[in-house]
Chains A and B, each alone.
Chain A
Amino acid sequence: DQQVKQNSPSLSVQEGRISILNCDYTNSMFDYFLWYKKYPAEGPTFLISISSIKDKNEDGRFTVFLNKSAKHLSLHIVPSQPGDSAVYFCAASGGGGGADGLTFGKGTHLIIQP
């Protein structure tokens, strides 16, 4: 039973445009949500997080939106750059995933087209 779902395995966006990556969750006990970025042959790198008491968090070109009633969050990247091409994992904590360990989605492969 997947508690964190990323339904788009891949997404292609033109350079300079907005990239929107989506994530849905089922466990209402989750209290923190995080996005990680992963390049091939490297470990995931923390990007941005949001607490369940907020609905938006912004850091430079990255903004995460949380809709608790819909159990949905999204990551917006604007403007998209070639270096943003990577796999993006949505993750959640607080739902019992190992003493505050993370429950991950399967990832979305973002491809930025020049």
Chain B
Amino acid sequence: NAGVMQNPRHLVRRRGQEARLRCSPMKGHSHVYWYRQLPEEGLKFMVYLQKENIIDESGMPKERFSAEFPKEGPSILRIQQVVRGDSAAYFCASSQRLGQGDSPLHFGNGTRLTVT
């Protein structure tokens, strides 16, 4: 019974490079969320996707960040031209259906991005 799988666990990038973070939701889950946690902060919502659709990206920075959840394969969070401020833990979560009360989010173990 695999949970939410994220890879890589740790990612080091130099300033200006691209970072690609992958997330496979739990089996049977079609709703995917990405969250970012900066040091000493709580988790901040970034984007919510269903298969082939971005439903809400109100938490995504306007530039350099993009996300997709293709029909086949994992969800990808892409950060282009990374800067030091992008260093954070990025968590993916999935749920079976919309509605938090009876369908809580299940989180992966995160990808820790370090920009040098």
Contact = CB atoms under 8 A, between A and B. Distances in A.
Interface of A: 4, 6, 31-32, 34, 36, 41-46, 49, 51, 89, 93-94, 97-107
A32 B100 contact: yes
A89 B43 contact: yes
Instruction: Among B41, B43, B55, find the residue whose CB has the most chain A CB atoms closer than 10 A.
Output: B43
Contact of A102 (B47, B100, B108): B100
Interface string B72-116: 000000000000000000010100001111001111111000000
Contacts of B55: 99
A34 B99 CA distance: 12
B21 to A, nearest CB: 13
Contact of B100 (A42, A43, A94): A94
B74 to A, nearest CB: 16
Contacts of B35: 104
Contact of A44 (B46, B47, B56, B91): B91
Contact of A98 (B42, B56, B91, B101): B56
B40 interface: yes
Interface residues of B, number: 30
A75 to B, nearest CB: 15
A101 B55 CA distance: 11
Given A49-B104, A93-B100, A43 B42 contact: no
22 contacts: A6-B42, A34-B100, A41-B109, A42-B109, A42-B110, A43-B6, A43-B109, A44-B91, A46-B105, A51-B101, A89-B43, A93-B101, A94-B100, A98-B46, A98-B47, A100-B98, A101-B45, A101-B48, A101-B59, A103-B45, A104-B44, A106-B40
A45 B47 contact: no
B19 interface: no
A6 B41 CA distance: 11
Nearest to B37: A104
Nearest to B58: A98
